[in-house]
Amino acid sequence: MTAYPPAAAGSHPPLTDRLDGLLFFPVTAYDADGALDLDAFRAHVRAGVAAGAGAVFACCGTGEFHALAPDEYAACVAAAVDEAAGRVPVLAGTGYGTALAAQFAGLAHTAGADGLLAMPPYLVRADQAGLLRHYTALAAATPLPVVVYQRDNAVFAPDTVAALAQTPGIIGLKDGLGDLDLLQRIISAVRTAAPDRPFRYFNGLPTAELTGPAYRGLGVRLYSSAVFAFAPEIALAFHRALEDGDDATVARLLDGFYRPLVELRNQGSGYAVSLVKAGVRLRGGPSVGGVRPPLSDPGPAHVEQLARLLDRGLALVAAAPGSGA
């Protein structure tokens, strides 16, 4: 693998400074035959940016990174970069073993991405030294800034994250584990070991809004919003309420929409992806199709339940004080 120095400053501020607002994870669109539908993907990204996304994370978990061939991945990242047009940063997913992760990182760099979300290594459960070697090698193999994703088989000890935070090119940690005790110790360890180094933290749990208030208690404001992909009105209303300290609106949306949505999501394996795609289809946006194997689309009863939830969530937003309704 070719080693690169840290990315040089370009026309934009550093990525650590540009990441703000709601993080949009677009789905990847397929046609009726399951082939990549780049026009529909472009329309989906374009709509998300226009709705107010703070950043676009293309070809990540919600974007079915696992199901994409390298040429499809490269085309999607390039399309996302084109549609964002520099208005917001575009980060691309990468993963598998170190060599393949570096190859996908190279494709993302060529496509014009601003950064990478590094998902857990494929299959193996490594020790802390092995995880550190993997992400350090990936960061050295790309000029793009890297956000490391903690979840599944990539769970980090505080000292490991402190070492990652001091690695050139690694700029943040997305937490998809939900262990707040561990995350607090990680934040403390990084703050102690590298007090002057900018390092960003993200709430990366599925339906992150449900735990948004708890993460804010640790100082973690950024989160990925799956709901933004199909109901940006609800996602933005919740985000504004959280930012403004509007606890009443936060509670109404949590009780009336987000908690029932999580309970529905938990009824199906892979629903963190396939239910999002169902939501996009329900809202009448671009025809994004279903999910690729090995995931399955939700059945009619669950789609109908999602439709009722969407109606309820949109009604709650319309009835909120200051909504103009």
Sequence-distant (6+) residues with CB within 8 A of 212 are: 203, 223, 238, 242, 250
Given 174, 201, 223, 271, which residue is catalytic?
174
pLDDT in tens, 225-238: 999 999 999 999 99
CB-based contact 162:135 (threshold 8 Å): no
pLDDT in tens, 171-194: 999 999 999 999 999 999 999 999
Instruction: Kindly write down the DSSP assignment for every residue of 293-320, as one continuous string.
Output: TT--PPPHHHHHHHHHHHHHHHHHHHHS
Given 149, 223, 258, 271, which residue is catalytic?
149
HEC string for 185-251: HHHHHHHHHCCCCCCEEEECCCCHHHHHHHHHCCCCCEEEECHHHCCHHHHHHHHHHHHHCCHHHHH
CA 183/CA 75 separation, integer angstroms: 35
What is the model's pLDDT at position 136? 98
pLDDT in tens, 241-285: 999 999 999 999 999 999 999 999 999 999 999 999 999 999 988
CA 245/CA 181 separation, integer angstroms: 24
Q: Is 163 exposed, middle or buried (0-12, 13-18, 19+ CB in 10 A)?
A: buried
- Tell me if residue 135 is catalytic: no
Range 271-276, long-range pairs (CB < 8 A, 24+ positions): 271/298, 271/302, 272/61, 272/62, 272/206, 272/207, 272/226, 273/27, 273/61, 273/62, 273/64, 274/298, 275/302, 275/306, 276/27, 276/62, 276/226, 276/229, 276/230
- Only one residue has tokens 């001091």, namely 166
CA 227/CA 7 separation, integer angstroms: 32
Q: How many residues does the chain have?
A: 325
What is the model's pLDDT at position 13? 84
CA 172/CA 202 separation, integer angstroms: 8
Mean residue pLDDT across the chain:
94
Average pLDDT over residues 116-144: 97
Task: Give the DSSP H or E segment for 107.
Answer: helix 98-111
Helices (H) and strands (E) in the chain, counts: 13, 8
pTM metric for this prediction: 0.94
Instruction: Kindly write down the DSSP assignment for every residue of 247-295, as one continuous string.
Output: HHHHHHHIIIIIHHHHHHHTTSTTHHHHHHHHHHHHTT-S----PPTT-
CATH of span 15-232? 3.20.20.70
pLDDT in tens, 50-78: 999 999 999 999 999 999 999 999 999 99
> Which of 90, 91, 151, 76 shows the shortest CA–CA distance to 121?
151
pLDDT in tens, 88-106: 999 999 999 999 999 999 9
What is the model's pLDDT at position 11? 55
- Only one residue has tokens 């449900």, namely 210
